[in-house]
Homo-oligomer: A and B are copies of this chain.
């Protein structure tokens, strides 16, 4: 499989982790967002949304990181990335979507560029925007995960094996650190992130280990 990838994209980073957890080999094809390679006609033919990632499978091209990961989980059920119980699964998706819908899209590169280039927002106000949505989202996530851990302690967000929720958490905290957010209010999330980082599947997917 070929992954149309960008080393610093949270969404692409999620898919790299999932592919590694499944033990699936893939080729990373860099699409440089800073060079606007995602806007090229060739890439638009693959992904009209002009976003990364896109996974080229035997069936065709698929975009949207969570759709890709759920697809991989169905086709390659070994090392399940979602709990099998419907309620546990729903709670795992809830955590993942609270990152993928409530935090990540608002702080995407295209949004930050629009703020500064189209609306003339200062670098300082852009950083305040970034931290604001991140803090709101992470505070809610910490509250949810800490409450669940109080009832049933576990190594990762949804049990003792990594799941879709952890796959979304780790790239989000990577970006939070890049933008120098103080993570001390989120001790449960930081502890789970550290447990993930110890796994080769997560470490190998890190932006520092990804072709640019």
Contact = CB atoms under 8 A, between A and B. Distances in A.
B49 A67 contact: no
A63 B50 CA distance: 29
Given A102-B105, A106-B106, A48 B144 contact: yes
B98 A70 contact: no
A12 interface: no
Given A71-B86, A143-B48, A119 B125 contact: yes
A151 to B, nearest CB: 11
Given A59-B87, A75-B86, A97 B48 contact: no
A91 interface: yes
A90 interface: yes
A75 B87 CA distance: 9
A51 B51 CA distance: 26
Nearest to A73: B86
Q: What does DSSP make chain A's interface, helix, strand, loop or mixed?
A: helix
A105 B66 CA distance: 16
Given A102-B105, A106-B106, A129-B114, A97 B144 contact: no
12 contacts: A48-B139, A48-B143, A60-B87, A64-B93, A68-B90, A71-B93, A74-B90, A100-B101, A106-B106, A114-B132, A118-B129, A119-B129
Given A71-B89, A105-B105, 16 more contacts: A48-B140, A51-B102, A59-B87, A60-B87, A64-B93, A66-B93, A67-B90, A67-B91, A67-B97, A68-B90, A70-B89, A70-B93, A74-B89, A74-B90, A101-B104, A106-B111
